[in-house]
């Protein structure tokens, strides 16, 4: 078992682009390094918390269970095979 890999995530591509921007900053100037580091932080956070939205925000409760608790999902999209 290798673990779970997201089959449809765009975050790895965005993270690679952010690292590329940071690397280009080494050649072209400090402002690009700063922009790249901000982009790396944003994409890393997005990558890490990609499945903590919508129905998974409440750790796997179904939409009907959320309604019964008086909460609403941040998205009606379903994740992780539901």
Instruction: Please count the structural domains in the chain.
Output: 1
Question: How many angstroms separate the Cα of 15 from the Cα of each of 19, 42, 66, 80?
Answer: 6, 9, 33, 22
Per residue in 4-39, pLDDT tens? 677 778 888 999 999 999 999 999 999 999 999 999
Residue 42 lies in a domain: yes
Residue 49 lies in a domain: yes
Residue 55 lies in a domain: yes
Residue 82 lies in a domain: no
Q: Establish how many alpha carbons lie within 13 A of residue 79's alpha carbon, considering only the half-sphere containing its beta carbon.
A: 21
pLDDT of 81 over the 50 cut = no
Residue 22 lies in a domain: yes
Number of other residues whose CB lies within 10 A of the CB of residue 18: 20
C-alpha to C-alpha distance for 27 and 53, rounded to whole angstroms:
37
Residue 74 lies in a domain: no
Residue in the block written with tokens 């890490």: 48
Q: Look up the domain containing 61 and give its range.
A: 11-69
C-alpha to C-alpha distance for 44 and 61, rounded to whole angstroms:
26
């Amino acid at each position: 078992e290798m673990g779970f890999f997201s089959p449809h995530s765009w975050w790895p591509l965005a993270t690679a682009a952010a690292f590329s921007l940071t690397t280009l900053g080494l050649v072209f100037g400090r402002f690009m390094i700063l922009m790249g580091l901000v982009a790396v932080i944003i994409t890393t956070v997005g990558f890490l918390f990609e499945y903590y939205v919508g129905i998974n925000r409440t750790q796997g409760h179904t939409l009907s269970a959320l309604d019964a608790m008086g909460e609403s999902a941040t998205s009606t999209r379903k994740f992780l095979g539901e």
